[in-house]
Amino acid sequence: MDELSDSVLAHLREAVDLPDLSQTRYEWIGQLGRGGMGTVHLVRDTQLDREVALKVVESHSAAEAHTTARLEHPGIVPVHDSGTLPDGRLYFAMKRIEGIRLDQYRDTGPAHAELLRVFLRACEPVAYAHAHGVIHCDLKPQNIMTGKFGEVLVLDWGAAKNLDPAGPIAGTPDFIAPEQQAGNPTPLSDIFSLGRTLEALCGPGVRRALMAIAQKAAATNPADRYPSVEALMQDLRRYMDGEPVQAYPEPLLEKAARILTRNQTLVLLIVSYIALRVLLFLFIRR
């Protein structure tokens, strides 16, 4: 038997992934993406005549729909509907968001301060989820999206867990904390993932204070991390405002340089005033 070509295999995989929507209100338009937790399709809601994103998952991933549905935050994509397909797979329909992933946004070359502002906004729904007893467990640049209207959303809550029970390992290896790899995620595990995400955004040549913030968040020992997402956000805001940060005991010269940079206008006025006084003194002496 001849081997099937890659294109034929890809077509067969796509055909198998196609959801049977015959008993639903949705019409298939195309596939938006595929991940470890399911496949996302672009469909038309025939009742409301609008396009939505429809995610199809295996039955063991049903928790995502319930988890996402009860987290009402501007940074979390709202769930409109959920149900079961004829083949037993579960689906849930969400608002369709047009935009790009955070790693793609980084590669467009935005201003450094703007990139940090986007990261801060991505922290907000995570802090909200923690306050409602939910850990994301798979935070990374690929699961953060910037929308074309300025939205910043945290996606893919398929690995999310309630705070109480432990469970199987989930997440992306480069971004998950040691305790999460051992099957015991906590809110501090999400902070580790946010630290790794910030490291991925920083790139080479960033100030040591910023890298120290990322490294503190992603410390191997949970006790060395920020105690909450809010604490991480506060330290990052201090950095952006030109203030000293908790994560970095800065040397005297760096402290002086930071103060001078933060107060450039005042420094220029003082220098100009001193220069003017010197010129007047020299002029009078002549």
> Catalytic amino acids?
138
- Which residues are registered as beta bridge partners of 35? 38
8 beta partners: none
Q: What distance in Å separates the CA atoms of residue 57 and residue 249, rounded to the nearest whole number?
A: 47
Q: Residue 80: which H helix or E strand, with range?
A: strand 79-84
Distance CA 45, CA 93 (A): 9
- The DSSP H or E segment spanning 72 is none
Q: What span, in angstroms and rounded, lies between the C-alpha atoms of 87 and 240?
A: 51
User: What 3-state class would DSSP assign to 186?
Assistant: coil
- Taking the CB of residue 241, how many other CB atoms lie within 10 A of it? 9
CA distance 212 to 7: 46
